[in-house]
Amino acid sequence: MTMTESLVPPRAGWTVDDLRQLPDTGVRYELFDGSLLVSPPPALPHLRAVTLLRDLLLRRAPAGIKIVENAGVTIHGRRTFFIPDLCVIRTAVLDKEGDSLDQDDVLLAVEVLSPSNPGNDLVLKRHYYAAGGIPQYWIVDPKARRLTVLTLDGDAYVDRAAVEPGRVWQSEEPFPLSVDPADFL
């Protein structure tokens, strides 16, 4: 099967099960409403932000909370599937069966913007994560050096904070923490 043949969409649209059949070429496959999103591997500024923020959250997470990287998350079934850069989940979720997290498992989703597809994180994922009921969504922008904190209000996110390096943002959710973007940007 060639790469071109493998990317022909199934009649009813793509599902998570179809993704398992695609070749491992080093790209990231995600879905929204059965449509395929393909992203290149992240650049070093992206990796730096993800790694440093993950380490910061790991140091501050209380017992019973885990920080996971690159875990697949289904939203309302198996036709919408994203891979946030980081997720905050309860430890018990790791004992579940299956091939991905469910939207209800995620307390916080974090995406680091990449120059190749910022609209996916700013618009598309913002909409779907909110529709899935994920309580918090953080968008890290390495170029603008900003952390945007969004919290769920009904079925949509509202901007709670836009935090620049040197400023500290504090929250009790998903666990008590103080964050200064200077620590990861």
pLDDT in tens, 30-75: 999 999 999 888 999 999 999 999 999 999 999 999 999 989 999 9
- In a domain? residue 100: yes
- Would you say the C-alpha torsion 37, 42, 46, 52 has a positive or negative sign? positive
- In a domain? residue 143: yes
Q: Over the chain, what is the mean pLDDT?
A: 92
Residues comprising the chain, all counted:
185
Provide the number of structural domains found in the chain. 1
Q: What band does 117 get if pLDDT is binned at 50, 70 and 90?
A: confident
Mean pLDDT of 1-22: 75
Residue % of the chain over a pLDDT of 90: 78
Mean pLDDT of 27-31: 92
Identify the CATH number of the domain in which residue 79 sits.
Answer: 3.90.1570.10
- In a domain? residue 151: yes
pLDDT in tens, 78-112: 899 999 999 999 999 999 999 899 999 999 999 99
Q: What band does 9 get if pLDDT is binned at 50, 70 and 90?
A: confident
Residue 141 and residue 164 in contact, taking contact as beta carbons nearer than 8 Å: no
Distances (CA, A) of 42 to 9, 26, 155: 25, 10, 30
- In a domain? residue 58: yes
Q: What band does 2 get if pLDDT is binned at 50, 70 and 90?
A: very low
Host domain of residue 144: 42-183
- Residue 10: the pLDDT is 85
Mean pLDDT of 9-38: 89
Amino acid at 73: V
- In a domain? residue 137: yes
- Residue 158: the pLDDT is 97
- In a domain? residue 5: no
Neighbour count for residue 128 (Cβ, 10 Å): 23
- In a domain? residue 120: yes
Amino acid at 75: I
Q: Which residues touch 77 (CB under 8 Å, ≥6 apart)?
A: none
- In a domain? residue 152: yes
